[in-house]
């Protein structure tokens, strides 16, 4: 009974704020609506029995990505009469953007590293009683570190290349100026 109420409430919120994201004139209101949609999606993952994905959805789509998008909105919402300079101030903004990417990477790596110690979670009685087999950390660990280990390594490599590459591009651009 409670699952149905939660499902229909979450569906209504997704429908409402998803449409509001598109039709909002102000980009900041669109971002707020998108955050609510991302938060509500984590409720769906929880309903589907995957608490771990719900936490990742909350951490990455609920916090990290909106922060980066908000920074992007703030940095690019310049007044028309103010000329844009490639001086220190914009470099500072780029540096903050790179720091946001680092925070994103750290959140992902910390959450993934939790999977590398599945014994801690699986041996606790509380987790064994309340977590269903789909969301068990042992199942995730087996999936990532045995069945899809190459995909996992590839994702880690891409993430590292992205962070390092953006930093290098920023430094090369500064030297060129």
Partner 1 sequence: MTEITLYHYLFVGLFVFVLGFAGSIVCKNIIKVLICIEFMLTGVNINFATFAKYCGGSSADGFVMILFYTAIGAIELAVALYIFYFMHCKKQSDNIEKYGEL
Q: From the list 67, 110, 120, 169, which residue makes contact with partner 1 (rule: CB under 8 A)?
A: 169
Per-residue x/- track, 119-148, partner 1 (CB under 8 A): --------------xxxx--xx--xx--xx
| Per-residue contact string for residues 86-105; x = within reach of partner 1 by CB under 8 A | x---x--xx--x--xx--x-
Residues 45-84 that bind partner 1 (CB under 8 A): 45, 47-50, 52-53, 56-57, 60-61, 64-65, 68-69, 72-73, 75-76, 78, 84
Query: What is the C-alpha to C-alpha distance for residues 110 and 104, in angstroms, rounded to an integer?
Result: 10
Number of residues located near partner 1, criterion CB under 8 A: 71
Minimum Å gap between C-beta 19 and partner 1 is: 7
Smallest distance, partner 1 to C-beta of residue 126, A? 20
Instruction: Name residues whose C-beta falls within 8 Å of residue 67's C-beta, 6 or more positions apart in sequence.
Output: 100, 103
CB of 119 to partner 1, least distance (A): 18
Q: Measured between alpha carbons, how far is 67 from 154 in angstroms, rounded to an integer?
A: 26
Q: How far apart are CA 51 and CA 48, in angstroms?
A: 8
Residue 7 C-alpha from the chain's centroid: 22
Write phi, then psi, for 24 (nearest 5 degrees). Answer: -65, 135
CB of 99 to partner 1, least distance (A): 11
Q: Does 108 bind partner 1 (CB under 8 A)?
A: yes
One of 16, 27, 55, 114 touching partner 1 (CB under 8 A): 27
All residues at 6 or more sequence positions from 53 whose CB lies less than 8 Å from its CB, including other chains: 42, 45, 135
Tokens standing for 82?
């103010």
């Amino acid at each position: 009974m409670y699952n149905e109420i939660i499902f229909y409430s979450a569906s209504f919120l997704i429908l409402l704020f998803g449409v509001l994201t598109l039709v909002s004139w102000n980009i900041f209101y669109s971002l707020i609506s998108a955050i609510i949609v991302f938060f509500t999606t984590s409720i769906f993952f929880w309903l589907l029995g995957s608490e771990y994905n719900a936490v990742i959805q909350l951490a990455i789509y609920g916090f990290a990505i909106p922060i980066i998008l908000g920074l992007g909105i703030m940095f690019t919402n310049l007044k028309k009469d103010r000329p844009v300079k490639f001086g220190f101030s914009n470099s500072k903004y780029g540096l903050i953007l790179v720091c946001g990417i680092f925070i994103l990477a750290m959140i992902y790596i910390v959450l993934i590293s939790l999977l590398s110690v599945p014994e801690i979670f699986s041996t606790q009685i509380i987790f064994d009683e309340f977590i269903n087999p789909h969301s068990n950390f042992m199942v995730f660990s087996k999936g990532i570190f045995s069945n899809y280990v190459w995909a996992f390594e590839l994702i880690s490599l891409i993430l590292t290349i992205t962070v390092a590459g953006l930093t290098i591009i920023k430094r090369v651009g500064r030297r060129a100026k």
